[in-house]
């Protein structure tokens, strides 16, 4: 990935999207194991692109954001742990989820930004609210950022990607679950996106802009994944233009 300060080369970003704590096999014990695994990977930065809760899924059980946040509060990264809300978090209650996360050392970036540093590495991290339920005020989120700052953005829904300015070096999103169920040749029957499979998962480059969509961890609606395994992503910043 280009447009990064040389001092940031090799910095690692862990992405935990769509945890949907309480979905089948993704209860609180599974979350504890996940946090331990992420910490063992020693990322420099952790971003949580929303959908911490699940309202209802066959075979699952509701886990409160207060309980899940206590476990997520054990995530450890020198550049910080940051979150935005997903549509399910808004449906449950945005204020409730924000409070739970904030009380457990997780910094919320809802249409705002924060300068993050590690030694001489300096990046502006921008959080953009959910496209379906949040204001998703990109201008407000980018306010006050100097022209020479390198910008890493994260949001829940990747459909906002075409609206984002080119000066953002990388945007990270979730929401799609990678399609959750995909078939060879036929693709993914259900993708919650107005763009079909255009932003279903992985690294997307359009008009010299970069997007990474995580397939996420939990499930929604049906407790099934097929050819789309759960994903915790570790992205590495590189200055070689790749």
Q: By three-state DSSP, how is residue 213 classified?
A: strand
Tokens 């099934």 locate to 224
Euclidean distance between the first and final Cα of the chain, in Å? 5
Strand order through the sheet with 107-108:
107-108, 81-83, 45-48, 12-15, 233-236
Residue-by-residue pLDDT tens, the chain, 242 positions = 347 999 999 999 999 999 999 998 899 999 999 999 999 999 999 999 999 999 877 778 899 999 999 999 999 999 999 999 999 999 999 999 999 999 999 999 999 999 999 999 999 999 999 999 999 999 999 999 999 999 999 999 999 999 999 999 999 999 998 868 778 878 877 878 899 889 999 999 999 899 999 998 988 877 877 777 888 999 999 876 44
- Read off φ and ψ for residue 57, nearest 5 degrees: -150, 140
Q: pLDDT at position 179, please?
A: 63
pTM for the full model?
Answer: 0.94
- Residue 205's SS3 state is strand
Closest CA to 87 of 127, 64, 53, 61: 53
> In Å, what is the CA distance from 119 to each residue of 5, 44, 81, 116, 240?
12, 11, 17, 10, 21
* The pair of three-digit structure tokens given for residue 154, joined into one six-digit string: 């994260």
């Amino acid at each position: 990935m280009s447009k990064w300060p040389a001092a940031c080369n090799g910095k690692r970003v862990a992405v935990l999207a769509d945890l949907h704590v309480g979905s089948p096999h993704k209860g609180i014990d599974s979350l504890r194991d996940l946090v331990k695994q992420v910490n063992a990977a020693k990322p420099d930065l952790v971003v949580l692109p929303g959908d911490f809760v699940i309202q209802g899924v066959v075979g699952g059980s509701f886990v409160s954001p207060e309980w899940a946040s206590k476990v997520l509060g054990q995530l450890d990264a020198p550049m910080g742990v940051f979150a935005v809300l997903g549509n399910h978090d808004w449906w449950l209650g945005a204020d409730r989820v924000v409070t739970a996360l904030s009380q457990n050392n997780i910094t919320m970036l809802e249409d705002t930004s924060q300068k993050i540093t590690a030694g001489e590495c300096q990046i502006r991290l921008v959080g953009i609210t959910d496209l379906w339920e949040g204001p998703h005020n990109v201008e407000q989120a980018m306010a006050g950022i100097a022209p020479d700052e390198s910008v890493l953005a994260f949001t829940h829904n990747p459909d906002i990607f075409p609206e984002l300015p080119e000066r953002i070096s990388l945007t990270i999103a979730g929401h799609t679950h990678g399609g959750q169920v995909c078939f060879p040749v036929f693709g993914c029957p259900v993708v919650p996106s107005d763009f079909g499979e255009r932003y279903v998962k992985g690294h997307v480059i359009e008009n010299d802009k970069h997007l990474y969509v995580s397939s996420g961890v939990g499930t929604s609606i049906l407790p099934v994944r097929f050819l789309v395994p759960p994903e915790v992503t570790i992205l590495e910043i590189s200055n070689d233009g790749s």
